Amino acid sequence: MPPKGNKMSNDFKVFFDYRVPQGKTRAAVRRASSGTNSIDLSNWLDEMKNKEDIYHYRLFYVLKPNSEDVVKFGIAGTRGFGGAWGRLHQYVNEYGHSTDLNTCTGVQMLYLAGNKFSESVPIERSDVYKKEYFCKQHFRSPEVNAHLIGRGFERINLDRIEELFDIIDDKSNKAFGDEEFERRTSERLKQQNLLPTDKVVKITGHKTAKAPSKAMTKYTVYWNRPFILTEEKLVRKARNPRKDSDIRDLERTLDKEAEIAGKPKPKRFETKVVSTKEVYETETFAHNIILYKGGAKALELYKTLHPTATFRD
């Protein structure tokens, strides 16, 4: 079993740290420049207890593929539930399992820590996101000269690993913490192009995925005024994105940064408007419906009229 770290500020929990031998604290261990106590990611994920421990967590991870002297850091479980395990297991699917016959396959875990997922903490205000962002900002700096050409900023050479952990261990980073906040109704209305006078007239239908899915119920809402929907057709790809995982990670990083900055995401496709139409009905979730005028009442009435239906809010 990997060593369990102590909880830090805002319940930031360290699940694994390759620098900490079992039964010792990091303060009692002198950092070595070579050799690690890393653990095989595949084996660690296969243990049910570990899978249960990281369930509904947002995590910051540091990994090293056996095939190269490159370290990869990033975040997993941005939406909670089993997302963290699924994201980490993608690396097992990509790099395979380590075997005695082929030591170049598989991936090692060097560090794993994070916070319990909270609906009131958006990803850009979460502890793990800030840590990842801080690390990327450092290694993408020209004077640091750590960027691996053709790869994302979250990959660095193994010989820069102490530099990475200096950033992770920095007290200012540990004190980041998740920032909870309550989104105001006016902000939601603005984002969805709704006016203060708009209201929910009634709910006309719903869709609930069958078990074992845990997806929330989506309701069809009839509004007091029509919305303009534009139907677009894909003309061609704006460019040919490589299937390399590094390029995909870089694209996700650029998209995320554009979203935080309030800028449009880079276009990867060229589209053509086919048609526009007015509709009174749109689909959304219960936690959105109750924010609008008449929403809570319409939702309660709909559920009363469908007593045997399955709802997952």
pLDDT tens sequence across 129-167? 888 888 888 888 887 888 787 777 889 999 999 999 988
Task: Encode burial over 227-248: b for 16+ CB neighbours within 10 A, e otherwise.
Answer: eeeeeeeeeeeeeeeeeebbee
Domain count, the chain: 2
Q: Are residues 62 and 161 in the same domain?
A: yes
Copy the structure tokens of residue 206. 């719903």
Helix (H, G, I), strand (E, B) or coil at 203: strand
Cα 258-126-10 angle, rounded to 5 deg = 165
pLDDT tens readout for residues 34-73: 445 889 999 999 999 999 999 999 999 999 999 999 999 9
* Confidence band for 293, pLDDT divided at 50, 70 and 90: confident
Q: Are residues 37 and 73 in the same domain?
A: yes
Long-range contacts: 233-236, Cβ < 8 Å, 24+?
Answer: 233/271, 233/272, 233/273, 233/274, 234/269, 234/270, 234/271, 235/269, 235/270, 235/271, 235/272, 236/269, 236/270
Mean pLDDT of the chain: 78
Q: Are residues 213 and 152 in the same domain?
A: no
Is 175 a residue whose pLDDT tops 70?
no
> Which residues constitute the domain of residue 243?
185-305
Q: Where are the beta strands (DSSP E) in 27-166?
A: 39-40, 57-65, 70-76, 107-116, 155-157
pLDDT at site 32 = 35
Q: Are residues 118 and 227 in the same domain?
A: no
At 145, the amino acid letter reads: N
Among the residue ranges 164-168, 234-238, 292-296, 304-308, the one predicted with the least confidence is 234-238
Q: Are residues 163 and 95 in the same domain?
A: yes
pTM: 0.54
* Confidence band for 12, pLDDT divided at 50, 70 and 90: confident
pLDDT at site 241 = 47
